[in-house]
Amino acid sequence: MYENWPANLGVVGGAVSAVALCVLLHYEGLLLTSRGLQQMGGPQRVKVLYGIFSMLILHVVEIWVFGITIWLLLRWPECGHIVSGSSGKLDALGLLDSVYLSAITYTTVGFGDVVPVGPIRFLSGMEALTGFVMIGWTASFTYLEMERFWRGR
């Protein structure tokens, strides 16, 4: 299974690309959100809702980046497959199934109802680490923005 170096390199390349894209998206998303909050007038509640919904949308986009990467890599059978905890190997993993796997991996929930097998596991590990870091980054950003709101009172 792991002797297929082109498949292994494909998974590593896909993982590195997805991580890099997510970090860049997160940085730019935080920057745009911060600028939008600074320019926004109106009640504080609206600003807080804008900031929180912006962060949620950003994380959903990042989950989709990894989901699409998983889905594309699994078109190449040597990259691995997904096993269902209840019924065994899933023959056809749809795009939304891949996004679901991505969401439970990114958030580090990991229900165990779908499990990657083979080289694709590397991508799942990288996604869990990336999701953990991005969620922490978002928490830090949210705290700093809320502190600015509270100081302004």
The CATH number given to whatever domain includes residue 72 is 1.10.287.70
Residue listed under structure tokens 């959903």: 60
> What does the pLDDT profile of the chain (153 residues) look like in tens digits?
568 889 999 999 999 999 999 999 999 999 999 999 989 888 888 888 999 999 999 999 999 999 999 999 999 989 988 887 666 666 567 899 999 999 999 999 988 888 899 999 999 999 999 999 999 999 999 999 888 777 765
**Residue 114: its H or E element:** strand 114-117
**Residue 115: its H or E element:** strand 114-117
Count of domains in the chain?
1
The tokens for 141 are 């950003």
What range defines the domain where residue 39 resides? 5-152
Euclidean distance between CA atoms 59 and 99, whole angstroms: 12
Q: What is the pLDDT of residue 45?
A: 84
Euclidean distance between CA atoms 117 and 79, whole angstroms: 9
Q: Model pTM?
A: 0.91
Q: Are 109 and 63 in contact (CB under 8 A)?
A: no
Euclidean distance between CA atoms 94 and 89, whole angstroms: 13
Backbone angles phi, psi at 91, to 5 degrees: -75, -45
Euclidean distance between CA atoms 127 and 121, whole angstroms: 10
Q: What is the pLDDT of residue 107?
A: 95
* CA atoms lying within 13 Å on the CB side of residue 89: 7
